[in-house]
Structure 1
Amino acid sequence: MEAKTWHKIGAAVMLVAAVVIMLMGKPSSLTPLSATEDIGAIAQYGEDRIQPFLLADWIISETGDFQVVDLRQAADFGEYSIDGSMNLPFTSLMTRDGLYEVPKYQKIVLVCGDGSRSGQAWTVLRSKGYEAYILTGGIKGWMRQIMTPVDAADLDLTDIDPHEFALKLKAMREHFTGTSEELG
């Protein structure tokens, strides 16, 4: 073939490629479907949540591989907060500066009043690559399950021996309150 023919073929291929690229749109506007499916699957199977008992174990064990981020307003945080938690109100977290305050290479446990705001923050953090979890029940769940007396049967914990549960709960409560109380 002649050089002119090759030039015409090359120009035609480039024209077709340019049209295809224009039809595709901006690459930044494309959402990776697998990331969305992964986030949905994590939430569907409850892998987005952490129970208060497990968080209490992490805190007592002092593993240092997680950070509790309390999304409540400063006044609520000042009334009571989980040991070692940082206060970053939800509206602050949703800013660029707020995201920079959240450690990227630690597990993040999100806490709000009842778990609803944590779910919204979880979606944002997971989509940005954070290993984030929602504290089940929020601060209310923490107070109900860790800081106030409960019975294993009330929590439907069928896989835990009630006596073992009572002892563990008593030890957790003593750790967080610094007191030794009888279970009621």
Structure 2
Amino acid sequence: MSYMKGDLLTKTRKLVKGLAKTEPLWLKPMLKAPPVVFPRSDGKVKPICLPEDVYVNKFYQKNPESKYEDPIKLTSFSPIPARVFAGRVLELKEHGVREEEAISIADMEYRGERKSKKQAHKRLRKIAHDLGKRPSPNPYPSAMKEIQAEERPHVRDRFFNPQILEIAMRLKEERAADMRERFGGR
């Protein structure tokens, strides 16, 4: 039945009409009330565009270092700065502010907030240093440093984990055997 085109109903109808199959009990009721046929897609998936995407892209053009921040932090409830910026621009535009002014105001607010957080963190580090305690983590760490911090245990693990060392030794042996096989013992 795989060579015939159509759904189960049309295939069964063709088989019954061609006397290749006896008419099943469910065929007549199914012909009276056929199942819903969903429209087929043309194979092109349309990208999802949100109204703030234009402003997110403008934010990334102004602040390219922010591109490396994780766009979806599953452990956080706060949105990324680019989405906050875009939301603020849309909010200002709703209140009647022109687009250029809205972008500049949102950018000023973003830079001011970032600067104040950095200064507050600097003060906290100084206080922690004076008290001899460990300082709190940086509110705006480098995205590359965050990624490296996540990867660091795995990088160290490759030198000390016996399972990984065993896999590496097996791969070396297989590679050496392959080379011997190719070049014959030279």
Q: TM-score, normalised by structure 1?
A: 0.20
Rg (Cα) greater in structure: 2
Higher strand share goes to which structure? Answer: 1
Higher helix share goes to which structure? Answer: 2
Higher relative contact order structure (alpha carbons within 8 Å, sequence separation ≥ 6): 1
